[in-house]
A and B are shown apart, each in its own frame.
Chain A
Amino acid sequence: DTAVSQTPKYLVTQMGNDKSIKCEQNLGHDTMYWYKQDSKKFLKIMFSYNNKELIINETVPNRFSPKSPDKAHLNLHINSLELGDSAVYFCASSLLAGPTPGELFFGEGSRLTVL
């Protein structure tokens, strides 16, 4: 009965490849997010998405693209992987968004290693 689940948990790949990470939430939340956590543990938002709007952090390269087939899923697709993309990627969801957000529920994280 995991609230936010993401797969795979570990991903090792070569530079230049394309990969995807899947995320699903069963909390009935309207808003989902992708965060990147680098080796120094910094948590940085990449995207937020609800039924109406995708908001992209302007610092995220366009090689990263979120895809949402429905409100319970927000997948992350990465093209032409680079060494600097190595990090832990966390999916999260919340009931509320904007100026009055609610608690963020995080997935377990997906550790991406680019060789």
Chain B
Amino acid sequence: GENVEQHPSTLSVQEGDSAVIKCTYSDSASNYFPWYKQELGKRPQLIIDIRSNVGEKKDQRIAVTLNKTAKHFSLHITETQPEDSAVYFCAASTPAGGADGLTFGKGTHLIIQP
């Protein structure tokens, strides 16, 4: 099945700086790559996603890039703010035939220092 590796596990940045979280996946058939944000004690919520026919997608301060050849994708957050503090999960779609649904990375705890 799909295996998703996510780094770093913890990332601390100064408010206003940029943050980058990187993920790799194992199954070249995967074609959907979402990012979820989970604030403390809350449910995970989708913040941005990208499909395999696109190399980059941007939504205000967040952007995601995908390199299908290298099988890695990244989340970029610019001008970080205190409300960006959360755990971020990358994920990749699991091709039909396995346990259907998304395979998540182990999460990155992003800490925004004032």
Which residues of A are in contact with B by a Cβ distance under 8 Å?
31, 33, 40-45, 47-48, 53, 55-58, 90, 97-101, 103-104, 106-109
Q: A33-B101, A55-B99, A55-B100 are in contact. Are A103 and B46 (CB under 8 A)?
A: yes
List which B18-44 residues lie within 8 A (CB) of chain A.
29, 31-32, 34, 36, 38, 42-44
Q: A42-B107, A90-B43, A108-B43 are in contact. Are A103 and B99 (CB under 8 A)?
A: no
Q: List 17 A-B contacts (CB under 8 A).
A: A41-B87, A41-B109, A45-B94, A45-B100, A45-B103, A47-B99, A48-B101, A55-B100, A55-B101, A57-B99, A58-B99, A99-B96, A101-B93, A103-B34, A103-B46, A104-B46, A109-B43
A39 CB → nearest B CB, Å: 12
Asked if B106 contacts A90 (CB within 8 A), the reply is no
Asked if B101 contacts A101 (CB within 8 A), the reply is yes
Main secondary structure of the interface of B (DSSP, over half): strand
Provide the bound-state CA to CA distance between A58 and B89, in Å.
Answer: 22
B51 CB → nearest A CB, Å: 8
Chain B residues whose C-beta falls within 8 Å of the C-beta of A40 in the assembled complex: 106
Closest to A47 in B: B99
